[in-house]
Copies of this chain bind each other. A is one copy, B any other.
């Protein structure tokens, strides 16, 4: 049984953690403002910079307060309930990561990241990798150092990965990616020989106000809670602040509606986390991979699915009339799922997208273990592009200089996209098996059965279970690539009549 002393210490620990979490939440709210509302004048930007720095410093101080360390050492976890023990386990990991890295190293990386981003922008626009090379070299070195501070016994890249997907190992990722590669590369090659659908409908103009209205309807259909959320416009679609979502309408109306579906998946996860644990691990999303599984569920398994468009296309068509006159649901479904290898990851389709991730994963791993030198990156990048997608970028701007993510040292982040795709497929298969009406519900535009299932099996647990445990409880198996590969194979074999 829990003693009074353990109970008090546990409560103190959780209260300290919650306070830090609430400051983190404030940083999110201010971040939303920055992306959506903030004027761009120099004064306004400077004031915001000072606000953000002050809150970030306080947040760091709160999560590294020595009292947390004392409490973590003193609490007898055996005397806690399972949920409480999970809370302590997660706080311990967070604390260890936060106190492990010397403040000067954090400051060094932050400073370098700011410079590196500017240099990267120049390098990209002038197609000059050599400009960026020394910065990337330093970033790799400093991030390896950071990893060694956190856990010197593990491979640096695996340590960095924990930041985004706790519990994931390079061994598992290697297996996942090898399987995906072996299935998807041949699929992509076969599709290259098949006829493509007529995509001229994508160039039909739809007035902005109709798009905004349609996307609002779509979000609400997908279960987005407008009582507690908002759908606004920003440069890039995102979810930020308490479940608030944004979208952009500049990449065309199809991209906009897929963006809405994607962000709604993220937003629903935020809104369904248990509020009584807000700011602590039990009230926080499990990992970036699990978060992405929720957005990709809505984007791919709903907004790119045949059942959804079979029932819903007539509404899109009516609202966007006359742009989609004469198009059938089947034609539209194929256009939504067009497969076409390209150089740019963020513009890639469902099937080729993962090839971009595999490429970055292999490169990140090799940079971190020293088997690839930064100077050889362009050559290696282009070689892998040829192997995976059969195309070679004409320059580094369209190749290894395209992503912003390495400029701030986010090594280990890219794999979460694919972990999300794998998770989405597994969870959707689980939901289909457990909710017999699911396909019909989706076709009728009724997402409540899916959303109830997701809340019960994923959202409400926060960080109570490790990722694999979460997947096992929801679907009977830890994360596995089978459902994802089955889904891709069936979908694209049918679509392209392979």
Contacts and interface: CB of A to CB of B under 8 A. Distances in A.
Which bracket fits the contact residues of A? 35 or more
B23 A55 contact: yes
Contacts of A25: 47, 50-51, 54
A444 interface: no
Q: Which of A46, A226, A242, A275 neighbours the largest number of chain B CB atoms within 10 Å of its CB?
A: A242
Given A29-B51, A54-B19, A58-B23, A39 B229 contact: yes
Contacts of A242: 43-44, 47-48
Contacts of A30: 26, 29-30
A33 to B, nearest CB: 6
A53 interface: yes
A453 interface: no
Copies per assembly: 2
A22 B53 contact: yes
Nearest to A227: B41
Nearest to A225: B41
A29 B29 CA distance: 9
Contacts of A44: 227-229, 242
A399 interface: no
Contacts of A18: 50
A154 interface: no
B37 A278 contact: no
Contacts of A19: 54, 57
A53 B229 CA distance: 21
A278 B230 CA distance: 31
Interface of A: 18-19, 22-23, 25-26, 29-30, 32-33, 37, 39-44, 46-48, 50-51, 53-55, 57-58, 225-230, 242, 271, 275, 278-279
